[in-house]
Amino acid sequence: MSNSEVAELPVVRDGDVVPCCPPITAGELSRADAEKMAAMFKALSDPVRLRLFSKVASHPGGEACVCDIADVGVSQPTVSHHLKKLREAGLLTSERRGTWVYYRVAPSVVAAMAAMLDLRA
């Protein structure tokens, strides 16, 4: 793999999407925070997208390429579309290496969603 093959895609890195918010039990979400968090939840609101997300998250090494996870019963362009949505919402990061784009869960973003739903907090 040559360096010139790297990062041909716009790469969302963990940290580009700044997560918020306090736990929902702590107080009312602001309008701005609600917009931000709703977009993240929306990314997980499709069953196929959620399965793809779980496939990336549970893949050995914590990363997967389309070639590893495309067996969800939809076409490859649809898989790519869903992965793009997850990336745009900040839940996945991506990196092109050679022929393939590799996806990873963005831990801080997913942790922020979990923290917001933490009723013990």
Q: Considering the rule CB under 8 A, would residue 51 count as an interface residue with a second copy? A: yes
Is the torsion defined by CA of 25, 117, 12, 85 positive or negative?
A: negative
Query: 11 or 44, CB closer to a second copy?
Result: 44
Burial class (CB in 10 A: 0-12, 13-18, 19+), 28: exposed
Contact call for residues 121 and 28 (beta carbons, < 8 A): no
Residues 55-84 that bind a second copy (CB under 8 A): 55, 57-58, 62
Residues contributing to the site for a second copy (CB under 8 A)? 24-29, 31, 34-35, 37-39, 41-42, 44-51, 53-55, 57-58, 62, 105, 107, 110-111, 113-115, 117-119
